[in-house]
Each structure stands twice: as C-alpha cells, then as structure tokens.
Amino acid sequence: MKIACVVFLVACVYAHGAVRYPAREDNEPLQLRILPTQIHTTTVGVQNTADDELLASELALLNNQQRNLIEDQIANLLEGFRDVVINGNENIPPLDPVELQQIGPFSYSSNGIRVTGYINDLHADGLRWYIVDEVTFNALRLALGVRVTLPWLRVNGSYDANARILLLRHDAGGNFRVFVNRVEVSVDLRVGTNILAGHLVLRELDIKIDIHDTLIQIDGLVGSPVLNNIISGLVQSITQAVIQNELEKVSQMLSEQLFDTINEVLKDYTIADILG
C-alpha cells in the first residue's frame, strides 16, 4: 500500500516538468521494475543501566536448553500471529487481505498546476505467507533477533486524478498493480529492565529490509491526454534513488512506531515471565 502511494506522490511532485515526455497509446501499459533495494534503520532509547548488566550476567548462566526454550517461545508467538494477520482480533483488523475503498486525497501544487488524486478499491494480499526463518537470543547483550521472509506481496487498485493547469481542468484515471517479489526482514532488539518495577523495556530496535524485486504497472489510462502524459512520463522517470529515499522514510517511520508499540507490550512483562 505504501508503494502505491509513493508512485502517486512522486508523480505529483514532478508534474510540472512531465509534459515534455512523448504521448503514448491509451491502452499501452506502463511498467517500472525496481532493482533490489535494501533499507536499514535503527531506533535507540535509554541506554543500559546497572540493572541491565546484572540481568545479563544472570541470563548468561542459562544452559542451552533454557536459551532454546526462549527462542522457541518467540518463534511460536510469531507463528501464532498468522491467525491475527488473517482474521484480526479486537485490536487489529485483518491484514491479509487488506481492502480499502478509498485513500486520499493526495494533492500537490506548483507553477500554476494543481494535481489531486485518490486511490480506489485497493486490495493487498500475501502477508499471511511469511516464513519465520530464524530466532536468536543473546543473553550477554539482552538481545533478540528475528529473521522473516515474505515470498511475495501483491497490491492492486485504481486511481482517479485531476489537474488544474492555469484555467483548464484535466481528469484521468486507470488501474495499477504492484508486485513485490521476496522481502526479507531482520529485526534485532535489545531489552533492559525498568529500575522501579523490574519490567522489560526496549533499549534498541534495528530493522533491516531487503526487497529483491518490485514491478509497478499502470494501465487503462483514460481521460485527459495531457494528464495521462504527465502520469506516464513521470512513472517512467522514477529512479532507484527516488524509491530508495521514499522507502527509507517509510522504514524510519515504521521503526519509530514499532519502538513505542513494543515498549507498550513489554511493560507488562518481566524476564521471569519469559523464562516461565
């Protein structure tokens, strides 16, 4: 869903310069293939305390069976989350598939041109097929590591856009498809303890995302030839650097939100709860 929004927003940002691109046939699909992309972001909270060091020394005494038990419990928790992804719960709506009737409006104006658009009937699926590759626990660093692979992710829908160029109004619309092939996500987090209550607290969150291949396609453009040429030219002009920059912003936002969310969950647990 984020990638679909990025496509439209990037088109809006450069709309004033896109009229230089040659016209296209109305039924000719636009395709953009993005090369492998890597995203890395780290969010750091309060640093280690003396209590953290004491806890680490105690956990270092755990035998291999106890450490494996912690890793197994985390892996089982992640596998159990698959039912939430499919069916949702009282706090989280179903995540696969995701269906939204409308997103927007998105708008941009510059040099006498104002472009506004909506994404309609968005459908995204594939999240349920994630694979938990590895779970690790480092007692000395109070660190947990999770490696997950998403074999594929598919997003499709339609859009409507209109532009006001000087005194003239132009309208267009069409369909889009985004296919992401193999996403590998590594999440490493370092925990500590709350001095007052002994509850767990997140110290550091490190997220790395590898996207192997992405195909964006827009077809069925109808309406204003001027606006169609703007959209088609700009989709073709999107560079790897632009996509990388936008995904870095999304990654940082995701990291900050997850940092707060994980801390909210951890505040109800102590290390004894995990070991038990």
**Confidence (pLDDT) at 15:** 35
List CB contacts of 129: < 8 A, sequence separation 6 or more: 150, 151, 152
Does position 6 have pLDDT exceeding 50, yes or no?
no
Whole-angstrom CA distances from 203 to 18, 24, 52, 117, 132 are 46, 53, 10, 41, 23
| pLDDT for residue 4 | 45
Identify the pLDDT of residue 147.
Answer: 95
Could you give the domains of the chain?
A: 2-275 (3.15.10)
| 150-154, 207-211, 217-221, 240-244: which is most confident | 150-154
Distance separating alpha carbons of residues 40 and 244, to the nearest angstrom: 11
State yes or no: pLDDT of 196 exceeds 70. no
pLDDT at 152: 96
pLDDT tens digits along 136-183:
988 777 888 999 999 999 999 999 988 877 777 888 888 999 999 999
pTM for this entry? 0.73
Residue 83, number of CB atoms within 10 A of its CB: 11
Contacts for 151 with CB less than 8 Å, ≥ 6 apart: 126, 129, 131, 181, 182
> Using 50, 70 and 90 to split pLDDT, how confident is the model at 252?
confident
More confident position, 259 or 270: 259
Kindly report which listed range (76-80, 234-238, 245-249) carries the lowest average pLDDT score: 234-238
- With a cut of 70, say whether residue 40 has pLDDT above it: yes
Q: What percentage of residues in the chain have a pLDDT greater than 70? A: 76
Q: What would the pLDDT profile of 9-34 be if each residue is shown by its tens digit?
A: 443 433 333 333 344 455 567 777 87
Which stretch, 87-96, 214-223, 253-262, 267-276, has highest mean pLDDT?
A: 87-96
